[in-house]
Structure 1
Amino acid sequence: MTIVDRASPSIRNVSDTALWVAVYRAIESDRDDALFRDPFARRLAGERGQAIVDALPFGQAMGWSIVVRTAVMDAIILRCIDRGARTVLNLGAGLDARAFRLKLPPTLRWLDVDLPAVTAYRREGLGAAVAVCRHAHVESDLRHADERHRVIRDAARHGPLLVITEGLLVYLAPEQVSELAAQLRNQANSRWWLADLITPPLQQTMGMVWSAQLDAADAAFRFAPGDSRKYFDDLNWRETEFHSTWTESIRLDRVAPNGWMWDRLLQWSSPAAKIAMTRMSGVVLLEPTSRVHVA
């Protein structure tokens, strides 16, 4: 599998979505009032990343949500490190360059895990750049339970452990997410789990817009729990923070195009509907409610 094909603007597999979202980070980094600076995003996205965004329906208009997600996760990651995280395990890392751009302690251990082709492409794009912490690229196919177990076990040897699954869970089947939750919980030092989530209404809306592109690439949105709080609680993971994409977009001044219509709709909605709408998409920080110590 390769993610390098400058001639094609289509999404061929899940790995190609890394090029897609890197474009949004590059666009944000070019702003005078940027919420973050990712000096590697433009190079990593490349011509093909821009072609993918240009070819997707409403591709340009969707950047705000990725920018908000990135900024919110940046802040939470730094906070978890301040609280004692010694290793960051970035599963399905894609083209994330946080280990090279965030202000991290040099003693922090950061592991970027993805498929061999994605990892090779990221290495090439980063070139001679030096991480600000103890960084390693880890090649692994996370679709296989034994591979995930090996990666998680090795990472947990130097905990406390912060696990990141940015842009990953949505492409997994619910049973795969449940299996991952059990694997993370059963590692003694898996203390925090940072993820982004969507709900069925948004899954259906985005599916209607992008189904032709995503389904053909076997990259359909599969995981969208109706009640994520209960879903993860049943798996012995407690939601300690939830940051609504919509609410955070207002705070960060990165509101969606025509966002005023959402504001008007929220004003007319019942309290229950308001909660449902603000939790339609967001970033969640989870902590285990029980731990099983393993050798």
Structure 2
Amino acid sequence: MKTMAINDISDTAFWICAYRAEESKRHDSLFSDPLAEMLAGDKGQDIARKMSDSRYSSWTVVIRTCVIDEMIDTLIRQNDIEMVVNLGAGLCTRPYRMELPKSIQWVEVDYPDLVNFKNEKLKVEIPKCQLKRIGLDLSDINARCSLFQQLNSYNRKALVLTEGVIPYLTEDQVGMLASDLHKNSNFLYWITEYHSKDMYKHQRSKRKNNEMGGSPFQFFPDSWFKVFNESGWALKENNYLYEKGKTLYRPFPAPLWAKVVYTFLPKKEVEKIEKMLGFVLWVKE
């Protein structure tokens, strides 16, 4: 059996960071993340090598990074947000690499050990905005609700970002998080991923579960949108990664046989494939 790649949920931060480091080395890179290689280290590279579908995961991370960057940039330019609350921030370096107004308040929340690691690694780096890191286990409901209330009291128009968080939660946990966020009047927007039901078979596969170890994917609702709608979040836009990849001249790296089959598929099946993965911008109703 192949060695388990992910031992705990914090390992996913190093795994994803390794893909951003890899992208930054390309001559045709879609973004530059100069801190990613240092943060990912050998640990991140080792995890990426062990993942059986690294080629596709890498593409997903790169395109989703571009999509999220664009959504954040648009909301800031439109003066719709003054604060970003990044829950499960991992090794994200947006406060350092994006062109952000100094007035933007950026709050990163993640496990204390990961926050301490990041603080030590980046202690000499200067962010482009007002950056604060908070070590907190977000599964502690009382602690997170207290934090949300504190952040809400800053009276700033806020965007919540959960990149690579939702798929690891159960449907009940996602619903509760959605409700907890919605209770705070200044949390106006929320960015999450979107997976169609056609993705579930792959995410539930034995091979994927073996690789993910103690942190398997768990969010498989009958309706992805309904879970959020029931807690008062309305769809503002859904950016599908397949379509975005084409506009960036970085199409999905499908094998040759799949490309051949794709040309013979009915239009309805093609549309299903192209809308399997995305990132959603929710707005509070």
Same fold (TM over 0.5): yes
Q: 1:256 to 1:103 in 2, by over 3 A?
A: same
Q: 1:169 to 1:175 in 2, by over 3 A?
A: same
1:32 aligned onto 2:4: no
TM-score (norm 1): 0.89
Q: 1:262 to 1:152 in 2, by over 3 A?
A: farther
Q: Give 1:212's aligned amino acid.
A: N
SS of equivalent residue, structure 1 residue 197:
strand
After TM superposition, give the deviation of residue 270 of structure 1 in Å.
4.4
SS of equivalent residue, structure 1 residue 51:
helix
Q: 1:103 to 1:172 in 2, by over 3 A?
A: same
1:89 aligned onto 2:85: yes
Correspondence list, 1:1-295, <5 A: 10-83=5-78, 84-158=80-154, 159-208=156-205, 209-214=207-212, 216=213, 218-258=214-254, 261=258, 264-265=261-262, 268-271=265-268, 273-289=269-285
After TM superposition, give the deviation of residue 264 of structure 1 in Å.
5.0
Q: CA RMSD in A?
A: 1.9
Q: 1:249 to 1:267 in 2, by over 3 A?
A: farther
Counterparts of 1:119 and 1:229, CA distance in 2: 31
SS of equivalent residue, structure 2 residue 189:
strand
Contact kept in structure 1, 2:171 and 2:227, CA below 8 Å: no
Q: Which runs of 4+ in 1 moved over 6 A?
A: none
TM-score (norm 2): 0.91
SS of equivalent residue, structure 1 residue 14:
coil
Q: Give 1:210's aligned amino acid.
A: K
Contact kept in structure 2, 1:88 and 1:111, CA below 8 Å: yes
Counterparts of 1:88 and 1:26, CA distance in 2: 23
Runs of 5+ consecutive residues of structure 2 not aligned to the other structure: none
Q: Deviations 1:32-91 (Å, cap 9, x if unpaired)?
A: 221111111000100011011111212244201100000100010111122321110000
Q: 1:141 to 1:262 in 2, by over 3 A?
A: farther
Contact kept in structure 1, 2:239 and 2:278, CA below 8 Å: yes
After TM superposition, give the deviation of residue 156 of structure 1 in Å.
1.7
Q: Deviations 1:210-244 (Å, cap 9, x if unpaired)?
A: 21121x3x211111334323332222211111011
Runs of 5+ consecutive residues of structure 1 not aligned to the other structure: 1-7, 290-295
Q: 1:65 to 1:259 in 2, by over 3 A?
A: farther
Counterparts of 1:9 and 1:47, CA distance in 2: 16
SS of equivalent residue, structure 2 residue 10:
helix
Contact kept in structure 1, 2:174 and 2:227, CA below 8 Å: no
Contact kept in structure 1, 2:158 and 2:186, CA below 8 Å: yes
Contact kept in structure 2, 1:94 and 1:118, CA below 8 Å: yes
After TM superposition, give the deviation of residue 274 of structure 1 in Å.
4.1
Query: More deviation in 36-45 or 152-161?
Result: 152-161
SS of equivalent residue, structure 1 residue 113:
strand
- What fraction of aligned residue pairs are identical, expressed as a percent? 29
Q: 1:249 to 1:34 in 2, by over 3 A?
A: same
Counterparts of 1:264 and 1:106, CA distance in 2: 50
Counterparts of 2:168 and 2:36, CA distance in 1: 22
Contact kept in structure 1, 2:4 and 2:210, CA below 8 Å: no
Contact kept in structure 2, 1:114 and 1:139, CA below 8 Å: yes
Q: Give 1:285's aligned amino acid.
A: L
Q: Deviations 1:71-120 (Å, cap 9, x if unpaired)?
A: 10001011112232111000000000101111101011000100001101
SS of equivalent residue, structure 1 residue 213:
helix
Counterparts of 1:141 and 1:198, CA distance in 2: 25
Q: 1:237 to 1:25 in 2, by over 3 A?
A: same
SS of equivalent residue, structure 1 residue 285:
strand
